[in-house]
Structure 1
Amino acid sequence: MKARLIEPNNGPNIQKEKAIVKEMIEFYCRRKHHQDQLCNECQELKTYALLRLSFCRFGEDKTACSNCKVHCYKPKYREKMKAVMRYSGPWMMLYHPVYSVKHLLNK
């Protein structure tokens, strides 16, 4: 039996999702951890989140992760990402309104 290689999703919708996630994590770290650069914990979360997006089984048809029936994040990262989203989400409307509206429409 041959091993099947899985190609990463790099389409425009995934790239937008990645940009939003990066912004939210970076904003969270700047505000909560008072860092100019990402701390190790936030860098680890960002790397993990981008990897999960790259290999999302729904690809370009994915919805917002909060609406997904498949929980692909490990519980540790899911809790961290929830904290990031709770904190950064409302601020995104002020600092990145276009990203925010697109994300809300994706729900």
Structure 2
Amino acid sequence: MSKKINNGPKIREEKATVSLMIQLYCRKHHNTKNELCEDCQTLADYAQTRLSFCRFGEQKTTCKKCPVHCYRKDMREKIQKIMCFSGPRMLIYHPIYALKHITKSIIK
């Protein structure tokens, strides 16, 4: 039995948001320009896969509020660090994505 891949508009937006957060973190901490460093690329790929197979699909809340933590412990620690750094800065660099994410975390 194969799992269904989630690719609805909310999941695509969530994927874009997490990608932007990882890119911002990598650029500021690893001095990258157009590409991610190897560690950040691995995390980005992992995050994209987890979102593609999220059991909640289009009804997904923000990861912080999710009752099921699907990331491995090491990846969860990395993404939490990135989100703590990039989250506040998203208002400056990507305000629309930041406001949508804030709204989503308040509503659900």
TM-score (norm 1): 0.95
1:50 maps to what in 2?
48
Q: Which runs of 4+ in 1 moved over 2 A?
A: none
1:94 maps to what in 2?
92
Distance in 1, matches of 2:84 and 2:9, equals 25
Distance in 2, matches of 1:97 and 1:43, equals 23
- Please tell me the residue identity of whatever aligns with 1:99: Y
Is 1:17 the counterpart of 2:17? The answer is no
Q: Give identity over the alignment, percent.
A: 51
Deviation, 1:38, is: 0.5
CA deviation digits over 1:34-80, x for unaligned, max 9? Answer: 11220000000000000000000000000000000101000000000
Is 1:30 the counterpart of 2:27? The answer is yes
User: Aligned with 1:43: secondary structure?
Assistant: helix
Deviation, 1:5, is: 1.4
2:3 maps to what in 1?
6
Distance in 2, matches of 1:16 and 1:47, equals 15
Distance in 2, matches of 1:5 and 1:65, equals 24
1:82 maps to what in 2?
80
TM-score (norm 2): 0.94
1:69 maps to what in 2?
67
Q: Which structure has the larger Rg?
A: 1
